[in-house]
Structure 1
Amino acid sequence: MQIDINLPAPYTPHAGLAAAFELCPLIAILRGVTPADAADHGRALYEAGFRIVEVPLNSPQPFDSIAAIRQALPEDAIVGAGTVLHPHYVDEVKKAGGDLIVMPHSDGDVVRAAKAQGLACAPGVATPNEAFIALKNGADVLKMFPAEQLGAHVVKAWRAVIAKQVPLVPVGGISPDNMGPFLTAGANGFGLGSALYKPGQSAATTASHAKAFINGLAVARGQKK
């Protein structure tokens, strides 16, 4: 019997998140979006090819925005919350129709609360110790944060000890033209913040930025010149 020494426990990723990630491994972060605008931005992202959208909880009325995006998008889209700092928010995210919990840290109580509710979870990790503890607690994706500080060389080092089936997702400072080195190092996807969306911008601007990221990903993968 061959075992994978790079996994601390059996790894079974959230099926819906895995399917959406396979279609498009880019996570849209709509920090600061309002409920009145959320659906329009969600549709703009979906039409550009995105399948995963998060609304950070430090946005105005975030649960209302999550609900609006969930209602606006087809079932193959994953909609969730970011900046989830406490486990008691998990219930509210689920009530709003959310499928995903994204965190800037790797608090085991939050991860376990998400998994207990059947939600996908992407905790933020900055060290291998945090990464393996997050996986032990049931993480589906490892959010490497902040990517500006960690860099592609850290992704490469982590990839040598973290099983290939576990997605590594750098977040922070990612732009359409700097994804290549991270992918070469072993990253699987990216979380996209202010380079994709800033509060107050139009849905047309979001669509334009989203298309730029989709094209940038294709170039980084060698699928387009």
Structure 2
Amino acid sequence: MLEQALAQNGLIAILRGLQPHEAAAIGEVLYGAGFRVIEVPLNSPEPFESIRILRNCLPADCLIGAGTVLTPAQVKLVKKAGGQLIVMPHSDPHVLRAAKAEGLYLAPGVATPTEAFSALAEGADVLKLFPAEQMGTAVVKSWLAVLPAGTVLAPVGGITPDNMQQFFDAGARGFGLGSGLYKPGMTPEQVAATAEAYIAAWQALR
């Protein structure tokens, strides 16, 4: 399902700071714009409730996940809330194994080729290149030359509609979008505008 969702739209919405009372409205706006993967970082207010709400209100073809997952215990809580995807800023093998044991999709953060290969060996579905603004497009190109064919490398951090083309040309086929897409306090109408800008940029890549 993750592969299908990213093939349809390679943009992952990262809703850091989302509150439960706004989850449904923000989620519906993003789904309407074309997003099919939505992540609620666990350092948001009541993240498991927001995950539950998003899962209940959005169609089944929209994958709901959690970000900033740091422990195996959190993995279990994400699944209990209805989350389907574990996103991490790092590649702790204990968390990776917990996610796979629970049957969840997995997108660990990697910053070196060693981390990338180790994460793939643990069953990672997508590699989150983080922080992308520090790593740059040259890293994407050089890594993909040696990583297994078909590896999805998704830059996260500092991705804008204006720089997506550079990463895409280097081989990236997915992008995690944080504060450029959503900041706490934004209205659904404001999120719709930023979402449309990113969607237009993604469609232009294709």
TM range (shorter): over 0.9
TM-score by length of 1: 0.90
Runs of 5+ in structure 1 lacking a partner? 1-15
User: Structure 1: how far apart are the matches of 2:82 and 2:162?
Assistant: 33
Shift in Å, 1:70 = 0.5
Shift in Å, 1:166 = 1.3
User: Structure 2: how far apart are the matches of 1:188 and 1:146?
Assistant: 16
1:128 aligns with 2:110: no
Q: What is the SS of the residue equivalent to 1:101?
A: strand
| Match of residue 81, structure 1, among 53, 56, 66 | 66
Runs of 5+ in structure 2 lacking a partner? none
Check the 8 A contact 2:85/2:106 in 1, yes or no.
Answer: yes
4+ long deviations beyond 2 Å: none
1:175 aligns with 2:163: no
Tell me the equivalent position of 1:115.
100
Q: What is the SS of the residue equivalent to 1:105?
A: coil
| Match of residue 92, structure 1, among 71, 74, 77 | 77
User: Structure 1: how far apart are the matches of 2:63 and 2:151?
Assistant: 18
Tell me the equivalent position of 1:197.
182
Q: What is the SS of the residue equivalent to 1:21?
A: helix
Tell me the equivalent position of 1:148.
133
Give the number of aligned pairs.
Answer: 206
Q: What is the SS of the residue equivalent to 1:55?
A: strand
Deviations 1:74-104 (A, max 9, x none): 0000001000011110111001000000000
1:50 aligns with 2:28: no
1:26 aligns with 2:7: no
TM-score by length of 2: 0.98
Check the 8 A contact 2:144/2:151 in 1, yes or no.
Answer: no
User: Structure 2: how far apart are the matches of 1:164 and 1:21?
Assistant: 17
Shift in Å, 1:218 = 1.8
What RMSD over aligned residues (CA atoms) do the two structures have, in Å? 0.7
